[in-house]
């Protein structure tokens, strides 16, 4: 039972702790922190100063009270010595009466040597025990009940009365220590109120000052958030000649550097595949990508009759035509997970299953080729309607083992694939007719359930002992036609980006 109660208490405490943490703000503004620190320092300073002043004030009041009591007691003892010895009661009464007229003195008494009260005025202390003082003045605190029922603290000063250096009696002067306490309390209260008022004013001043000091940091935070949102053109237009000014200058330089870097990345990704660009930019310390053997598929798409077509067009029109079709080919390639290896004149080289694992790279390459041919057919309808020459592609595809890596020198290199399978794909492209997609028999056997193709002929390839059987791809199976039509419509609905119209084809 006890263990169960302890477990319940622990869970309750844990729940309260979690709720308390949730109530706390995630971020505390630096202006609040500065204001809090400055206020604490000011409060600590004002409190220390107030305590110091209050202690000095109390000490001064006590010193003044003791000095006054000692002076009055010594003066009364000096005047009472002879009347005590001569037993002149009239003079003794005059002494106590005159002293009692002072508002600060609550009582005065003159005693004989044997402790008999000779004359008194006001209140007297209880002199149980020996009241006589043979040396200097002594002070004796005591209390009495006031009219309002409270305890009033009194202070009696006892001094010996002498005549010709012989002690003949004693005198007592009683003062109110409560008045001293009230004065000390009043002084303390005044100091407390003044300290509180100064603390409030100091807190407001500290908050205002901290806001002023943290305002540049707030500007820097806003600018940093804008950079995080992608607004790399953000700048802090403030001139300062202090450390924050250097910080602003450094931020502006950093933002300018990020903008330049972003522009370089955008331009770089236009000249190489985005996947290649991402891998290179992710590891700038080691630019060279690792060469590795892979199983992949390569597609070559070449414009038939391009030489004759280019002779009838202006150079700017040739460039515009290539950029337009290469842009469409790039979109079609990315839809099936491929990458643009390079553009060679009017020929595009695409690779599938190179940078990312793709077990279905061969089928994706054939689907991309069918998409390119259907896209060209749809675009030719528009070109015929506009009286422009038609563009036809011949495509060769092959899959197999190849080496993916960098070729070139330290000054210039490119990421590509090389090998016998790549060379065969290029040869198949050159053997294809207009609007034809050519693959070898091995690839057809692998994709036969998913593609529609017919046998063409055998092709003697230099370096190979046996001729290669080639097939012409007509279409893909109807199970994948829906995705093909959707991709075709997506490409047709898009338009080449204006920046791509300025891209330079690799020759």
Cα 204 from Cα 202, distance rounded (Å): 5
- Decide yes or no: CATH 3.30.70.990 for domain 26-229: no
pTM attached to this predicted model: 0.51
Q: What's the token pair of residue 473?
A: 């791809």
Cβ neighbors of 300 (< 8 A, separation 6 or more) are 347, 348, 349, 350, 395, 396, 397, 425, 426, 428, 429
Q: What's the token pair of residue 34?
A: 């500065």
**The pLDDT of residue 287:** 47
Beta bridge partners of 396: 300, 438
Does residue 107 contact residue 174 with C-beta atoms inside 8 Å?
yes
**The pLDDT of residue 499:** 38
**The pLDDT of residue 394:** 93
**The pLDDT of residue 282:** 57
Q: Is 333 exposed, middle or buried (0-12, 13-18, 19+ CB in 10 A)?
A: buried
Task: Classify domain 274-502 by CATH architecture.
Answer: 2-Layer Sandwich (3.30)
Domain coordinates of the chain in residue numbers? 26-229, 233-268, 274-502
Helix, strand, coil percentages for the chain (3-state, nearest 5): 55, 25, 25
How many CA atoms, within 13 angstroms, populate the side-chain half-sphere of residue 504?
Answer: 4
Does residue 447 contact residue 362 with C-beta atoms inside 8 Å?
yes
**The pLDDT of residue 500:** 41
**Residues of the chain under the 50 pLDDT cut:** 24, 287-290, 496-507
Does residue 273 contact residue 355 with C-beta atoms inside 8 Å?
yes
Q: Is 166 exposed, middle or buried (0-12, 13-18, 19+ CB in 10 A)?
A: exposed
**The pLDDT of residue 501:** 39
């Amino acid at each position: 039972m006890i263990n169960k109660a302890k477990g319940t208490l622990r869970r309750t405490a844990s729940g309260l702790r979690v709720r308390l943490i949730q109530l706390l703000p995630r971020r505390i503004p630096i202006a609040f922190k500065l204001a809090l620190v400055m206020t604490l320092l000011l409060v600590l300073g004002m409190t220390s100063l107030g305590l110091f002043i209050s202690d000095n004030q109390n000490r001064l009041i006590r010193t003044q009270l003791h000095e006054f009591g000692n002076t009055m007691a010594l003066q009364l003892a000096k005047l009472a010595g002879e009347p005590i010895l001569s037993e002149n009661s009239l003079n003794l009464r005059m002494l106590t009466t005159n002293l009692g007229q002072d508002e600060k003195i609550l009582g005065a008494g003159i005693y004989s040597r044997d402790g008999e009260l000779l004359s008194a005025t006001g209140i007297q202390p209880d002199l149980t025990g020996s009241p006589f003082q043979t040396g200097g003045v002594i002070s004796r605190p005591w209390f009495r009940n006031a009219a309002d029922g409270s305890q009033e603290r009194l202070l009696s000063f006892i001094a010996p009365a002498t005549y010709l250096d012989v002690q003949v009696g004693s005198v007592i002067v009683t003062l109110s220590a409560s008045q001293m306490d009230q004065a000390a309390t009043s002084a303390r209260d005044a100091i407390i109120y003044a300290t509180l008022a100064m603390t409030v004013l100091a807190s407001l001043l500290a908050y205002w000052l901290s806001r002023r000091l943290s305002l540049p940091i707030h500007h820097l935070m806003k600018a940093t958030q804008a950079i995080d949102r992608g607004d790399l053109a953000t700048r802090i237009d403030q001139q300062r000649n202090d450390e924050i000014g250097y910080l602003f200058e450094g931020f502006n330089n950093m933002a300018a550097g990020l903008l330049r870097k972003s522009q370089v990345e955008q331009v770089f990704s236009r000249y190489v595949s985005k996947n290649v660009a991402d891998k290179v930019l992710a590891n700038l310390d080691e630019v060279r990508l690792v060469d590795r053997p892979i199983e992949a598929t390569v597609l070559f798409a070449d414009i038939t009759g391009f030489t004759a077509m280019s002779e009838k067009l202006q150079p700017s029109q040739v460039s515009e035509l290539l950029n337009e079709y290469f842009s469409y080919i790039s979109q079609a390639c990315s839809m099936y997970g491929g990458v643009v290896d390079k553009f060679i004149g009017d020929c595009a080289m695409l690779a599938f299953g190179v940078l990312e694992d793709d077990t279905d790279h061969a089928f994706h390459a054939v689907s991309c080729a069918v998409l390119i041919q259907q896209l060209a057919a749809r675009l030719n309808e528009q070109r015929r309607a506009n009286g422009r020459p038609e563009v036809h592609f011949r495509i060769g595809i092959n899959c197999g083992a190849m080496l993916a890596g960098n070729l070139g020198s330290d000054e210039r290199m490119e990421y590509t694939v090389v090998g016998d399978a790549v060379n065969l794909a290029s040869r198949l492209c050159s053997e294809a007719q207009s609007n034809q997609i050519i693959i070898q028999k091995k690839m057809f056997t692998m994709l036969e359930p998913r593609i529609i193709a017919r046998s063409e002929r055998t092709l003697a390839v230099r370096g190979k002992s046996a001729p290669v059987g080639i097939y012409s791809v007509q279409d893909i199976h109807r199970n994948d036609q829906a995705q093909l039509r959707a991709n075709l419509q997506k490409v047709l609905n898009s338009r080449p980006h204006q920046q791509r119209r300025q891209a330079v084809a690799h020759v």
